[in-house]
C-alpha cells in the first residue's frame, strides 16, 4: 500500500472510531463521506473500520515490493490507466537509464495490489458512439432535416409553403413524426373525419372521461387526435405515452411516469410510491393520450381503470389504436367506463380530389377519374397510402419541366408501392 493511502487510512479509521465511541454510531453516510474524502471505495472503508474494531489500526506490513507514489498514480490516471505508458514516462521515453525502474510485470502487480486495497484510479474515459448535441444539430441543418419527434406523419415542409393547421391561423401545427416521406410542400388537411374527432375529443376532455378512437391502420387516427388536442381552447396539458410491445406492468408504469414528467427511473419498480405519484399528477386537469392502445393486456387495462377510479382524478384519458376497441372489449371493467367511442373512417370518395389538392399542389389539375382508379385499386381510402403515392408522384413529376400528372405517371407511382401498399 502506498504511503499516502496508508496515511489516509489512519485518518479515516481514527475519525470513524471517534464517532463510533461517542454518543452516536457510525452510519453509512459517515462511511460514504470518508470514502469520498480518502478517494477509496465505500466497501474499503467498511473493511478498514472492521479491522480497526478488531485492534488492527495499521495495514499489514509488506516485505519489499514496489509501490507507486502519488505523482506516479496521477500520471497513470492521466494516461488512461495504461501501465506501459506509465513505464515509458518513468524512463523518460528511453532517454535515461533503466536502473531503479521496475519491470512492466512488477508495475502491473503494484497497480493491481493498490486497486484491491481500495485505491481509486480516476480515469476520464472518452465516450464512444456519442455526438455532441451542437454538432448533431449542425449536421441536421446541413442535411435540411429536423429532429425526429412526435406528431403528424406528413412531410418535409417546403419553407416557402406554410403548413396549414386547420382553421386556426395563429396556431402552429403540432410536431411531426411517424411515416417518413419526401413531399416538400405538403400540408396538414382538416377533413370532415378530423373535424369529427375534434368534436369527440373535446367532449371527452370536457367531461374528464375516457375515450377510444379506433379505425384501420393508416386512416389518420393519431393525426386527427393530435390535431384535436392542439385545437383545444383551454390549452390543458397533454401527456403523450406510447404503449410498448408486449409491455409488463413495470414498463407501463415507467411509460406513464415519463409522460407525466415524473421520475421514471426511481419509481417504475416501486409500485406503491409510483402509483401515489401518478394519482397525484392525475388530480390536475389534463389529457393523457395513450397511443397504440391495442397492445394493452387485460391486466394493464385494469391498471388504467384503477388509476381513473381514484377519487379526485381530474384528467381525461384518450386511447387510440387500430384494434384498440377489441382490446378494451376484453376488459369489461374498463369498457364500461369508456364515455366515447369513435371510429375514424377512410377518405371520403366524393371529396377525394379536393382533399388531395389541399394536401399537395401536385394533384391540382389531375383528372378525378385517374385518382379514383388509384384509390379503387391501391389506396382504398387509406390516407397513409395516399401520402406515399403523393411522395412518388412528386418525385416523378420533378424529373423534367411541365410533367403532367396523368394516368401513366400515377400508375408508375403506384407500382413503386409493391404488392403491399
> Is a pLDDT exceeding 70 seen at residue 84?
yes
pLDDT at 197 over 70: yes
| Least confident segment among 94-98, 151-155, 365-369, 387-391 | 151-155
What pLDDT shows up at residue 155? 32
Asked if the model's pLDDT at residue 9 lies above 80, the reply is no
Model confidence at 62, in pLDDT bands (50, 70, 90)? low
Q: Looking at the predicted structure, is the pLDDT value of residue 137 above 70?
A: no
Tens digit of each residue's pLDDT (9 = 90 or more) over 346-359 = 888 888 888 898 88
Would you state the pLDDT for residue 73? 78
Percentage of the chain with pLDDT > 70?
75
* pLDDT at residue number 131: 42
Higher pLDDT, 167 or 335: 335
- Is the predicted pLDDT of residue 106 greater than 70, yes or no? yes
Range of lowest pLDDT (16-30, 139-153, 176-190): 139-153
Label residue 234 by pLDDT band (50, 70, 90): low
Q: Is the pLDDT of residue 129 over 60?
A: no
Give the cell for residue 256.
Answer: 406513464
Query: What tens digit of pLDDT does each residue of 166-195 get?
Result: 333 333 333 444 556 677 778 777 778 888
Q: What pLDDT does residue 209 have?
A: 92
Total count of residues recorded for the chain = 421
**pLDDT band for position 135 (50/70/90)?**
very low
How many Cβ atoms from other residues are within 10 Å of residue 302's Cβ? Answer: 15
Can you tell me the mean pLDDT for 214-239? 85
pLDDT for 2 equals 55
Give the best-scoring range by mean pLDDT among 2-11, 20-29, 227-236, 301-310. Answer: 301-310
Q: Is residue 33 pLDDT above 70, yes or no? A: yes
| Amino acid 164: pLDDT | 36
**pLDDT, tens digit (0-9, with 9 covering 90-100), for 310-329:** 888 999 999 999 999 999 99
More confident residue, 288 or 24: 288
- Which of the pair, 293 or 102, is modelled with greater confidence? 293
Every domain of the chain and the residues it spans = 3-116, 192-343
* Section 261-287 average pLDDT: 81
Average pLDDT over residues 376-403: 85
pLDDT, mean of residues 136-147: 43
> What mean pLDDT comes out for the span 128-146?
44
What pLDDT does residue 288 have?
Answer: 93
- Of the candidate ranges 1-5, 172-176, 194-198, 406-410, the one whose mean pLDDT is the lowest: 172-176
User: Residue 414: is its pLDDT beyond 70?
Assistant: yes
Q: What number does CATH give the domain 192-343?
A: 3.40.50.300
Q: What is the mean pLDDT of the chain?
A: 76
Contact 340, 334 (CB under 8 A): no
> Does 240 score more than 60 pLDDT?
yes
Amino acid at each position: 500500500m502506498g504511503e499516502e493511502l496508508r496515511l489516509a487510512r489512519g485518518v479515516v479509521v481514527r475519525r470513524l472510531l471517534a464517532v463510533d465511541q461517542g454518543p452516536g454510531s457510525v452510519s453509512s453516510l459517515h462511511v460514504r463521506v470518508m470514502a469520498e474524502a480518502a478517494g477509496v471505495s465505500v466497501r474499503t472503508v467498511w473493511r478498514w473500520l472492521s479491522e480497526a474494531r478488531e485492534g488492527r489500526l495499521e495495514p499489514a506490513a509488506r516485505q519489499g515490493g514496489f509501490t507507486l507514489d502519488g505523482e506516479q498514480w496521477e500520471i497513470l490516471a492521466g494516461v488512461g490507466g495504461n501501465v506501459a505508458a506509465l513505464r515509458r514516462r518513468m524512463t523518460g521515453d528511453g532517454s535515461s537509464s533503466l536502473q531503479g525502474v521496475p519491470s512492466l510485470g512488477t508495475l502491473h502487480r503494484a497497480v493491481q495490489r493498490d486497486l484491491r486495497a481500495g485505491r481509486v484510479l480516476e480515469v476520464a474515459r472518452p465516450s464512444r458512439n456519442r455526438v455532441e448535441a451542437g454538432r448533431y444539430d449542425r449536421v441536421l441543418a446541413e442535411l435540411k432535416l429536423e429532429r425526429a419527434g412526435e406528431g403528424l406523419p406528413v412531410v418535409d415542409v417546403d419553407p416557402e409553403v406554410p403548413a396549414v393547421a386547420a382553421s386556426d391561423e395563429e396556431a402552429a401545427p403540432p410536431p411531426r413524426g411517424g411515416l417518413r416521406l419526401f413531399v416538400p410542400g405538403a400540408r396538414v388537411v382538416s377533413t370532415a373525419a378530423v373535424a369529427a374527432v375534434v368534436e369527440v375529443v373535446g367532449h371527452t376532455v370536457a367531461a374528464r372521461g375516457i375515450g377510444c378512437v379506433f379505425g384501420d391502420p393508416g386512416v389518420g387516427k393519431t393525426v386527427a387526435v393530435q390535431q384535436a388536442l392542439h385545437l383545444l381552447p383551454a390549452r390543458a396539458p397533454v401527456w403523450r405515452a406510447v404503449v410498448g410491445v408486449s409491455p409488463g406492468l413495470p414498463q407501463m408504469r415507467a411509460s406513464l411516469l415519463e409522460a407525466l414528467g415524473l421520475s421514471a427511473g426511481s419509481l417504475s419498480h416501486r409500485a406503491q410510491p409510483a402509483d401515489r405519484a401518478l394519482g397525484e399528477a392525475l388530480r390536475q386537469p389534463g389529457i393523457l393520450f395513450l397511443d397504440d392502445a391495442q397492445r394493452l393486456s387485460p391486466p394493464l387495462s385494469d391498471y388504467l381503470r384503477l388509476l381513473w377510479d381514484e377519487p379526485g382524478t381530474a384528467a381525461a384519458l384518450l386511447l387510440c389504436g387500430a384494434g384498440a376497441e377489441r382490446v378494451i372489449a376484453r376488459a369489461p371493467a374498463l369498457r364500461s367506463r369508456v364515455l366515447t367511442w369513435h371510429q375514424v373512417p377512410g377518405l371520403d370518395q366524393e371529396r377525394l380530389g379536393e382533399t388531395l389538392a389541399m394536401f399537395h399542389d401536385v394533384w391540382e389539375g389531375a383528372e378525378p377519374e385517374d385518382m379514383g382508379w388509384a384509390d379503387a385499386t391501391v389506396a382504398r381510402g387509406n390516407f397513409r397510402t395516399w401520402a406515399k403515392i403523393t411522395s412518388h408522384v412528386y418525385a416523378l413529376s420533378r424529373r423534367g419541366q411541365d410533367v403532367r400528372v396523368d394516368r401513366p405517371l400515377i400508375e408508375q407511382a403506384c407500382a413503386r408501392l409493391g404488392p403491399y401498399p
